[in-house]
Amino acid sequence: MALTGLEIYKLLPQTNCKECSFPTCLAFAMKLAAKQAELKACPYVSEESKAKLEAASAPPIRLVEIAGDDGKLAVGNETVLFRHEKTFFHRPGLFLRVKDSLPAEEIKKQVAAADAFKADYVGIPLTLDGYAIEAASGDPAAFAGAVKAVRAASKKPLILLTSKPDVAKAWLEAASGTRPLLHAADASNWEAMAEVAKAAKVPLVARAETLDDLATLTQSLTKAGLEDLVLDPGVKGPKDSLEKLTTLRRLAIKKNFRPLGFPIITFPGAGGKADDVLLAAEHIAKYAGFIVLDTFDPASLYGLLVLRQNIYTDPQKPIQVQPGMYEINNPKDDSPVLVTTNFSITYFAIANEVEGSGWPAWLVVTDAEGMSVLTAWAAGKFDSERIAKAVKTVGVEGKVKHRKVIIPGHVAVLSGELEGDLPGWTIMVGPREAVDIGAFLKAMWVN
């Protein structure tokens, strides 16, 4: 957690020598706290103070990066408990579990199918983040073979699930050239696992059932020289997950508690009884960094990936949709033309209502800088000129044989001016609320 100016001041020489170019040490401390100056500007700060200040400026949750043959994933470095306080920065990775006990050909087939998954969400491609290979067989050779099989089918990052140091070593060779996550060190094997992880320079998961044991373990691993750690608190079900993951996030962010300031890995399908899709969803919203799924089902994966996208959207910057022309229900040359703004919620509200009503329509989305109709109108971002420009440039004139355009009821006042800006077009004033669009079209749209 960041130190205050006064806390920093106590660690400075307090001689007011001005060599940092600030008039006093206190002024320099204030600038440091505001991140407007760098500590190296002070030639006299003690090594001890320097170490303390550097430690304090480290993020409360360490950023841990893994990499496959192609593609990286970094998680951690979060700063808030609730997304509205700032934003959630690093989306948790969704991994699919693959067992090494399957024949190599079967592994390749499964991974290739999952790797081909790609859905589009408002122009953002959604895919799995990688594979968690489980040493179910206990045979180092089988495990190495499985790693090779997965790498043959996918270039995405890997998580290696084994608690046996010798198996982990065999993986080391098979996965060389990538940076996987090794899972896991526990109270019984940590020294050997730490050595393996250290030699391979890969991040290591620390696993323990209680937070006390987990903190003890991470301290041992830190002393052994490992910096990139991930926590597996062995969560079971929705309630245990919420308590442990919330507590871990709080300890890191509010208490700057270093032993537990690492990203978290969860296995929503382990433990049996819980609905694994809904538990994975909880882990997305509440604080997991890596989530290992037991099954590949596009019907649940797509929803989970969209949820992750939504929760990790920056609340200060709402999603805007691309301005342009959108086709709804396969419109023809006699279908209505509707105009709205590019605020995502506005767009979704209109698109949904039109779609639900069954009416084919052309939806012209103007660039209103991501504002809703009334806000954009009040701010001058959704005026006659902008609407006319959009209608003229999106190519709708070539798509319809009529010349009628429907504007939102909230900007009825624009219709006169718009008739001037769009010569030849009839301006129709639509309903104020999206929910009334179906009824409006039914009553007013006559060809």
Partner 1 sequence: MAVEIPKEKWSGTVREVTLGATREQGGTRTRTLTVGGETAMPHHAFEGSFPHPPALALEVRDRKPTDWSPLLLQAWGAAMDDPAAWAKAAEQAGAELIFLTLSATLADGKANTAANARAVVRKVLEATGLPLAVIGPGQAEIDNELIVAAAEEGKGERLLIGTCEDKNYRTIVAGALANDHVVQSKTPMDVNLSKQLVILIHDMGLPLERIIMDPTTGALGYGIEYGYSVMERLRLAALQGDSMTQQPLIVTPGEEGWKVKEAKVGEGVPAAWGDWNRRALNWEALTANALIYAGADIIVLRHPETLRRLRGVVDALMAA
* Least distance (Å) between residue 45 CB and partner 1: 31
Indicate the residue among 156 and 179 with the shorter CB distance to partner 1.
156
Instruction: Candidates 31-39, 58-66, 113-121, 163-171: pick the segment binding partner 1 (CB under 8 A).
Output: 113-121
* Least distance (Å) between residue 425 CB and partner 1: 29
Indicate the residue among 39 and 311 with the shorter CB distance to partner 1.
311
Q: What amino acid occupies position 285?
A: A
Indicate the residue among 50 and 236 with the shorter CB distance to partner 1.
236
Q: How many residues bind partner 1 (CB under 8 A)?
A: 62
Spell out the residues 6+ positions from residue 138 whose beta carbon is closer than 8 angstroms to its own: 164, 167
Site track 25-64 with partner 1 (rule: CB under 8 A), x = hit: ----------------------------------------
Identify the residue whose tokens are 């480290």.
58
Indicate the residue among 243 and 334 with the shorter CB distance to partner 1.
243
Using rule CB under 8 A, residue 212 touches partner 1: yes
Peptide linkage before 184 cis (omega within 30 of 0): yes
Using rule CB under 8 A, residue 117 touches partner 1: yes
* Least distance (Å) between residue 211 CB and partner 1: 5
Structure token digits, residue 268:
């929503």
* Least distance (Å) between residue 83 CB and partner 1: 6
For residues 348 and 344, give the distance between their C-alpha atoms in angstroms, rounded to a whole number: 6
Spell out the residues 6+ positions from residue 118 whose beta carbon is closer than 8 angstroms to its own: 125, 126, 127
Residue from the set 30, 132, 208, 211 that interacts with partner 1 by CB under 8 A: 211
Instruction: Give, as ranges, the residues between 221 and 280 that touch partner 1 (CB under 8 A).
Output: 237-239, 242-243, 246-247, 250-251, 254-255, 257, 259-260, 274-275, 277-278
Indicate the residue among 299 and 446 with the shorter CB distance to partner 1.
299
Using rule CB under 8 A, residue 375 touches partner 1: no
For residues 326 and 352, give the distance between their C-alpha atoms in angstroms, rounded to a whole number: 12
Name the H helices within 379-436. Answer: 384-393, 415-421
b/e 75-109 (16+ beta carbons within 10 angstroms → b): bbbbbeeebeeebbbbbbbbbbbbbbbbebeebbe
Residue from the set 282, 320, 376, 418 that interacts with partner 1 by CB under 8 A: 282
For residues 317 and 315, give the distance between their C-alpha atoms in angstroms, rounded to a whole number: 5
Using rule CB under 8 A, residue 148 touches partner 1: no
For residues 150 and 124, is the Cβ–Cβ distance under 8 A? no
For residues 106 and 101, give the distance between their C-alpha atoms in angstroms, rounded to a whole number: 10
Using rule CB under 8 A, residue 216 touches partner 1: yes
DSSP-assigned beta bridge partners for residue 340:
365
* Least distance (Å) between residue 49 CB and partner 1: 26
For residues 157 and 151, give the distance between their C-alpha atoms in angstroms, rounded to a whole number: 9
Structure token digits, residue 415:
């219709």
* Least distance (Å) between residue 291 CB and partner 1: 14
DSSP E strands in 38-193: the ranges are 64-67, 72-75, 93-99, 119-121, 124-126, 130-134, 158-161, 181-185
* Least distance (Å) between residue 44 CB and partner 1: 36
Residue from the set 16, 79, 101, 352 that interacts with partner 1 by CB under 8 A: 352
Per the rule left: phi > 0, alpha: psi between -120 and 50, beta: everything else, 116 is alpha
Using rule CB under 8 A, residue 118 touches partner 1: yes
- Calculate the CA dihedral of residues 209, 211, 217, 223 and round it to 10 degrees: 170
- Strands 124-126 and 119-121 turn out to be antiparallel
Indicate the residue among 154 and 357 with the shorter CB distance to partner 1.
357
Q: Name the strand (E) or helix (H) holding 304.
A: helix 298-311
Instruction: Give, as ranges, the residues between 293 and 322 that touch partner 1 (CB under 8 A).
Output: 297-304, 306-307, 309-311, 313, 315, 318
Residue from the set 139, 195, 355, 419 that interacts with partner 1 by CB under 8 A: 355
What is the 8-class DSSP label of residue 234? -
SS3 content of the chain, % helix, strand, coil (to 5): 45, 15, 40
Indicate the residue among 174 and 301 with the shorter CB distance to partner 1.
301
Residue from the set 281, 321, 396, 407 that interacts with partner 1 by CB under 8 A: 281
Instruction: Give, as ranges, the residues between 329 and 348 that touch partner 1 (CB under 8 A).
Output: 344-345, 348
* Least distance (Å) between residue 182 CB and partner 1: 23
Task: Give me the DSSP letters along 38-61.
Answer: -GGG-SS--HHHHHHHHHHHS-SS
Binding site for partner 1 (CB under 8 A): 82-84, 117-121, 211-212, 215-216, 219, 237-239, 242-243, 246-247, 250-251, 254-255, 257, 259-260, 274-275, 277-278, 281-282, 285-286, 297-304, 306-307, 309-311, 313, 315, 318, 344-345, 348, 352, 355-358, 435-436, 439
